[in-house]
Homo-oligomer: A and B are copies of this chain.
């Protein structure tokens, strides 16, 4: 069965990638786009877009009434994104939202509509699916290996150390890890900082070098062995795997789910 998708924001950075991805997937079909300009044109008429006969609409309601679709994929900007998603749900379409920045009220509102309409809606503002899996695996491995350190590596233009992902990984590990002071009880740093940041006994190390993009290793050590979970993010398209997964799954759920980690199990 083919999944018919309407994309909002086809000219944006994320939208462009999503259009490409949908056209490449055998089980998906791009049936329309919503754009704030270019009403009535076809995608192939737009400079820099793929050569396909997909109609463009400025008015979401008109689009939803004219085009038969399964899922609405919102990738434009927060303001209009909320309205589009609301209208899509009200028109009976499932929705996947890849933009961040919705307010709590807006999410509550959409949750209610999705519930009433018995439609799946997934809002996945943030993480590449690989990063979510890394954190979930780390949380689970910590039940069996209380000794763990995190090395995160980023380009040297990054201001903060450690990274937000490292801190979030640590938080998840702490949910299952037994409290433990790691390393030798009498270990000492002959150069201050060598052992990294120490948070609840877990040591975190931040590498910053030109060339690097966004990488993290979570290393668990036990007698005679180590288990390492590594995520390398090479570019911003890494969210696309998550979008694709959400499109394939939104038809199987009912109600609104916020955050990829809640549909990955």
Residues of A within 8 A of B (CB): 17, 21, 128-131, 133-134, 137, 140-141, 144-145, 147-149, 151, 153, 156-162, 167, 182-184, 186-199, 203-213, 219-241, 245, 264
Contact B182 A204 (CB under 8 A): no
Q: How far is the CA of A14 from the CA of B131 in the complex (A)?
A: 32
- Given known A-B contacts A147-B156, A227-B133, A219 and B207 have beta carbons under 8 A apart: yes
Copy tally for this chain in the complex stands at 4
Q: How far is the CA of A234 from the CA of B231 in the complex (A)?
A: 15
Contact A130 B161 (CB under 8 A): no
Contact A206 B196 (CB under 8 A): yes
Contact A188 B159 (CB under 8 A): yes
Q: Which residues of B contact A195 (CB under 8 A)?
A: 161, 193, 206, 208
Give the Cβ gap from A158 to chain B, nearest Cβ, in Å: 7
Partner of A206, one of B131, B159, B194, B224: B194
Residue of B nearest to A131 (CB): B225
Q: Which residues of B contact A183 (CB under 8 A)?
A: 156, 208
Q: Looking at A153, A156, A205, A237, which has the most chain B CB atoms within 10 Å of its CB?
A: A205
Contact B209 A189 (CB under 8 A): no
Q: Which residues of B contact A226 (CB under 8 A)?
A: 130, 209, 211-212, 230-232, 234
Q: Which residues of B contact A162 (CB under 8 A)?
A: 190-191, 194
Contact A194 B197 (CB under 8 A): yes
Q: Which residues of B contact A192 (CB under 8 A)?
A: 193, 197
Residue of B nearest to A148 (CB): B209
Contact A240 B224 (CB under 8 A): yes
Q: How far is the CA of A73 from the CA of B186 in the complex (A)?
A: 32
Partner of A227, one of B144, B156, B159, B231: B231
Partner of A210, one of B199, B210, B221: B221
Q: How far is the CA of A182 from the CA of B207 in the complex (A)?
A: 10
Contact A147 B209 (CB under 8 A): yes
Q: Which residues of B contact A193 (CB under 8 A)?
A: 192-193, 195-198
Partner of A189, one of B151, B161, B187, B211: B161
Q: How far is the CA of A188 from the CA of B208 in the complex (A)?
A: 12
Give the Cβ gap from A194 to chain B, nearest Cβ, in Å: 4
Contact A184 B158 (CB under 8 A): yes
Q: How far is the CA of A76 from the CA of B17 in the complex (A)?
A: 30
